[in-house]
Amino acid sequence: MERTRETKSQELIRRLKYNKSAVFGLAIVVILILCAIFANFIAPNSPTPSPPELFKALKPGFWSEDGIEEMPLGADGLGRCVLSRILYGARVSLTAGFVAVGIAMILGITFGTIAGYYGGWVDAVVMRIVDIMFAFPALLLAIVIVTVLGQGLDKAMIAIGIVYTPQMARIIRSSVLYIKEMEYIEVQKAIGSSDARIIFRHVLPNSIAPVIVYGTLMLATAILDCAALGFLGLGAQPPIPEWGAMLSKSYSYIVSGAWWAATFPGIAILLSVIGLNLLGDGLRDILDPRLKT
Amino acid sequence: MKWYITKRLLMLIPVLLGVSILAFSLIRLAPGDPAVTIAGEHASPQVINSIREKYGLDKPLTTQYWIWLKQVLRGDLGRSIVSNEYVAKEILERFPNTIELTLVSMIFAITIGCIAGIISASRQYSVFDYSFMGLAIFGVSMPVFWLGIMLMMIFGVYLRWLPISGRISMMISFQRITGFYLLDSLITGNFAAFISSLRYLILPSVALSTIPMATIARVTRSSMLEVLRQDFIRTERAKGLPERMVIYKHAVRNAMIPVITVIGLNFGLLLAGAILTETVFSWPGIGRYVVNAVNMRDYPVVQGCVLFFASMFVIVNLLTDIVYVYIDPRIHYG
Amino acid sequence: MKSKLFLVLLLTVGLVFSLVSAASAENILVFGSSGDASRLDPGDVTDGESIQRMDNIFEGLVEYEAGSVLIKPCLATSWEASADGTEIVFNLRKGVKFHDGTDFNADAVVFSFARQYDSNHPYNQYGEWAYWGYMFGDVDKMEKIDDYTVKLVLKRPNASIMTSLAMFTVNIVSPTNAEKYKEDAFKHPCGTGPFKFVEWVKDDHITLEANENYWRERAKLDKLIFKVIPDPSARLMALEVGEVQGIEYPNPADFERIKANKDLVLMSQPGMNIGYMAMNTGYGYIDENKNGVRDLDSEPLVKTPGYFEPLTKKKVRQAINMAIDKQSIVDNIYMGTAIKAKNGMPPFMLGYNDEIEDYPYDPAKAKQLLTEAGYPDGFEVTLYVMPVSRPYMFDPPKIGEAIQSYLAAVGITVKFYQVDWGTYLQETEAGNHQMCLLGWTGDNGDPDNFMNVLYGANACSIGAAGNYAFYTNNTVQELLSAALATYDEEKRATYYKKAQEMIHEDAGWVYLAHSTQNIVFRTNVKGYVLNPTSRKFFYPVWIE
């Protein structure tokens, strides 16, 4: 068992190497994670200087002669370094993404496994609930949950986690249904293994592939949705350097000529989401050829 | 066939009921007294009492739900706290704006998405293929609100080509009939109004169409590739039909089937995207309405919009399924 | 075939992208507003957006001279006050008609007033009449004497009642119209003013057109449209391309750009306002007898819901005053569209105390004061941040964030609390806040309209407070009451100056700025006059 898994992961790496776009995606994701971890070492300035340096407000970056040297990407409306805030923002966005997807995974795997493994009325009930949740556009459902819970980054993460649960549950369920019919599961049942043992030892480990693939893709949309909530003022609250919130605070300066404060956070969102999407697509091609679109 | 549609319609009932329960619980889950939540915190005790009576708030939850559901089915979604206007009426006023925006975006997305997908598939591994698919990955990863801002900046602020907010130029006198500006201006033969409203539509709908356009392009491409590998295409080719005929006459028709599902699904995403796009472009639709309502804690409005969006979404999915059955001869509607 | 198609396509694209908008022979002014009106009933509105629509549809008995707060006749041709000042008789203008054709007469005046103060009036239920309670609490009733004479009866003499009567709250509405639309009358405004209502497309625009039967000369504009463009940059863009001819609340960051554009004119005037951060000092009273005055014997001080130990200490409040660099906020956030404030009323007003020395920006001293007060490590405090821009504070969230960073430097952690504007006012009036951003725009130019409303102990009534620091200093209140009862201006001024000294010492507020009011028009828009009250009248305006 152990050995096959090792070869599997070796094979994964080998095949990933041949998928150029996946490698590119992986590179972006790795850079993103490094930025997030080492933000306090890389960032040239504090993301929330105290007391604030208001006199630097809306100063341009390296491309201009009026720029401030230590702020290569310019300053925002409160004189804070845009680059530093983006770097710290990676930490915020990644954490939010991971927590949200984590919540979706825990809930989704629980419900999906129960529904798929036991079938019958349990399955019917769980899947109807999933259907109902699918009747809402994801962002709208997240907004509704935030309306009830209140605004804030923590609540936005929970909301997004809940919104993604049905998707995860559906994926797990279909994978469980597939595995359940396999012969060795029948054998396990025949020799009297308990349900819990079968689920944890045999069913779940075999559902890992779709969880990884969809987890990665979900991470991309989670970051996007979290930024969207931040943009609408329902997510991260100041002074947290969250990309979506940074954008919404500074896009009114575009007309005044200060385009940088709104442009760069958007690029950061775009690049991270592209990275995760490319990686997710690549992983899907390798791990789950059945799902290839 | 009829049986399939009936069955599909019957399946809708539990989903719609669930949606209504969710919308109903929105107000009960909100902190505080539901009567105050519905009437607003400025409301006088008389108003709060009348609300309590109207919704039977002293009765058990199930009874409350029935009372509420009956009102909803009659089209009574309550009144907005902020404007004191009937929510259903306010939604209907804004509804054409959102639909016009989403429809135009969808047309953009389908046309360009399908063409790009077909070209990519028919010239797999060509420069076109790589660049289209490269753009598509950008498209699906795009934060719509940021794209909207960038479009505003480039085409509105710097180039000054297109207006950046609003529905139609205020300098044009214009008579609204249906609320769909393009349609109304055509009905009244008001060419200036037509051009003007089209100008106002371009940037928001381009922003909004990006994600579905990219998705449609990707699905069209992979679906085309699959069809092109199939036997009957090989037969056609073997028969000596020109490649163009093969692709446009036979392959495309078959490849469109999965694309339709994706279009249906994307319509829902488009409604969600409209929330962001409308906010960026100050578009007077339901998306902006619901965002304002959330910020104002106008719960009856949020509830009404939730019901409305979810019902739209469900109905569009239903229509997609039905169209799918009509088109795809392989499906046996069991 | 193909080339023809291409040509048509090119033509369409060309048309779509062309900047030429159809020139119109009509004199139309489109004004870019920052938000939509909430209601269109002058008695029932409190927000600037609704008010600016009302001011062009409705009129009152008296009005302000253009650009000032002096009173002149409008729908009343003359008036006479009784010797004790508790009764004023108005002679009404004859031959005036409402937009729906109804005659303007004493019945209309009584209707417009009585529906607000008389809870048994059949139309009382259709509004909340917030401003009435605020400004007209001294009014007992309005009586009809004959068709063109009415009498206003006051409960007690009030020297500022005439200036208050020029406010939108007591504009005259058509009774027939109210009867026709009942609870929906607020969507169908009908007054006697220079413009009449045409349509209201929610969140988009409100169209008015010239009243052809106006009792004065017809307005020069044919149409007046208020278009809602919430984002200040989008508003400016629309102005630059000529989609709108005027805008309010331009972004201070755009002033250079506006001044450089010879098609645009920026009109500015010192505003009659104050923007501040109030710190809840802890105690208010419950106004049992609803008279807006604290009865020292029967109405004891009670803790406000937002009572917060550190802020009850004077040293802490002074420390906060010293921890915030107000000059930097004025220079970089207000961007020079305001002057730094040290007192709670505008410098050009009677009784302004210029001898007061403002707290300096001195974080080290602030830290020391905090240590002396027993908070060497600071504390965590909640700041209510306004969700809307007001004339006295352009961008509250940004100012809130700046204050947050300043206070972090002396160890105070600030958390934000944001709600919709209506709830915000209600919660702060009830004293739920620990600290809040707020401000005031003067209604009538009298110092009492700042000092007594904002800083007196009487204004600390929980649930209806105007004194958001809940600064219950009885000596200050005595000074303010004495000032209101005095007609000798010099004496009045000394009272106010003394009060300001005490207010400064106790430091319940961080006074931030007095903003200028700004409005931008295209150069061909003529005749607009700025008003100190920030109200917007388009009657004299025309487009060249």
Nearest CA in chain A to C237: A255
Question: Which chain C residues are closer than 8 Å to B31 by Cβ?
Answer: none
**Between residues 207 and 246 of chain B, which touch chain A (CB distance below 8 Å)?**
218-219, 222
Decide the pairing of beta strands C413-417 and C380-384: parallel
pLDDT value for B329: 61
**Between residues 92 and 111 of chain B, which touch chain A (CB distance below 8 Å)?**
none
* Mean pLDDT of all residues in C223-229: 92
Tell me, yes or no, if B158 comes closer than 8 A to chain C by beta carbon: no
* Mean pLDDT of all residues in C119-127: 88
Q: What percent of chain C has pLDDT over 70?
A: 94
Q: What are φ and ψ of residue A218, in 5° steps?
A: -65, -35
pLDDT value for C32: 93
Are the beta carbons of C418 and A151 separated by less than 8 Å? yes
Nearest CA in chain B to C463: B42
Q: Kindly state the tokens that stand for C120.
A: 């048994």
Residues A160, C451: Cα–Cα separation, whole Å: 49
Decide the pairing of beta strands C195-201 and C149-154: unpaired
Give the range with max mean pLDDT: B133-137, B330-334, C35-39: B133-137
The string of pLDDT tens digits covering residues A137-162 is 888 889 888 888 888 899 999 999 99
The string of pLDDT tens digits covering residues A90-129 is 999 999 999 999 999 999 999 999 999 888 899 988 888 8
* Mean pLDDT of all residues in C442-464: 86
Q: Determine the distance from the C-alpha atom of residue B69 to the mean position of all C-alpha atoms in its chain, rounded to a whole number.
A: 25
Q: Tell me which residue of B172, A289, A277 sits closest to C205, measured CA to CA.
A: B172
Give the mean pLDDT of chain A.
88
Nearest CA in chain C to B292: C420
Beta bridge partners of residue C312, listed in sequence order: none
> Who among B144, B269, B299 is closest to A137 (CB)?
B269
pLDDT value for C21: 45
Q: What are φ and ψ of residue A193, in 5° steps?
A: -65, 145
Nearest CA in chain C to A238: C401
Q: Kindly state the tokens that stand for A45.
A: 């300035």
Nearest CA in chain B to A227: B143
Q: Tell me which residue of C134, C163, C160, C135 sits closest to C64, measured CA to CA.
A: C163
pLDDT value for C260: 92
pLDDT value for A85: 95
The string of pLDDT tens digits covering residues B225-267 is 888 888 777 787 778 777 777 777 777 877 888 888 888 878 8
The residue of B152, B159, B170 whose CB has the most chain C CBs within 10 angstroms, and thus the best one to mutate to test that interface, is B170
Q: What percent of chain B has pLDDT over 90?
A: 26
> Who among C233, C253, C325 is closest to A58 (CB)?
C253
Give the mean pLDDT of chain B.
85
Are the beta carbons of B141 and A273 separated by less than 8 Å? yes
pLDDT tops 90 at residue C479? yes
* Mean pLDDT of all residues in B106-117: 92
Classify residue B2 as exposed, middle or buried by CB count within 10 Å of its CB (0-12, 13-18, 19+): exposed
State the pLDDT confidence band at B36, using cuts at 50, 70 and 90: confident
pLDDT value for A174: 87
Could you report the predicted ipTM of this complex, rounded to two decimals?
A: 0.89
**Between residues 300 and 329 of chain C, which touch chain A (CB distance below 8 Å)?**
323, 325, 328-329
The residue of A143, A145, A292 whose CB has the most chain B CBs within 10 angstroms, and thus the best one to mutate to test that interface, is A143
Residues B59, B52: Cα–Cα separation, whole Å: 10
Q: What are φ and ψ of residue B299, in 5° steps?
A: -60, -45
| Three-state DSSP string of B285-309 | CHHHHHHHHHHHCCHHHHHHHHHHH
Q: Pick the more confident residue, C115 or C444.
A: C115
Q: Quick check: pTM over 0.90?
A: no
CA distances to A62, A215, B197, C59, C138 from C131, in Å: 53, 56, 40, 16, 13
E-strand spans in C286-443?
301-303, 338-340, 380-384, 413-417, 435-441
pLDDT value for C137: 74
Q: Tell me which residue of C535, C452, C514, C537 sits closest to C47, measured CA to CA.
A: C535
Tell me, yes or no, if A249 comes closer than 8 A to chain C by beta carbon: yes
* Mean pLDDT of all residues in C435-452: 87
pLDDT value for C274: 95
Residues B35, B49: Cα–Cα separation, whole Å: 8
Tell me, yes or no, if A58 comes closer than 8 A to chain C by beta carbon: yes
* Mean pLDDT of all residues in C198-224: 92
Q: Tell me which residue of A149, C396, C37 sits closest to B294, measured CA to CA.
A: A149
* Contact call for residues A266 and B143 (beta carbons, < 8 A): yes
Lowest mean pLDDT among A165-174, B44-53, C43-52, C92-101: B44-53
**How many Cβ contacts (< 8 angstroms) between chains A and C?**
77
SS3 C86: coil
pLDDT value for C19: 46
Residues B51, B30: Cα–Cα separation, whole Å: 16
Question: Which chain C residues are closer than 8 Å to A79 by Cβ?
Answer: 332
Are the beta carbons of A51 and C405 separated by less than 8 Å? yes
* Contact call for residues B48 and B36 (beta carbons, < 8 A): yes
Q: Please tell me what DSSP assigns to residue C389.
A: -
Q: Please tell me what DSSP assigns to residue A78.
A: T
* Contact call for residues B243 and B228 (beta carbons, < 8 A): no
Tell me, yes or no, if A270 comes closer than 8 A to chain B by beta carbon: yes
E-strand spans in A39-91?
none
User: Which chains lie within 8 Å of chain A at 3 or more CB pairs, if any?
Assistant: B, C
Give the mean pLDDT of chain C.
89
Question: Which chain B residues are closer than 8 Å to C238 by Cβ?
Answer: 163-166
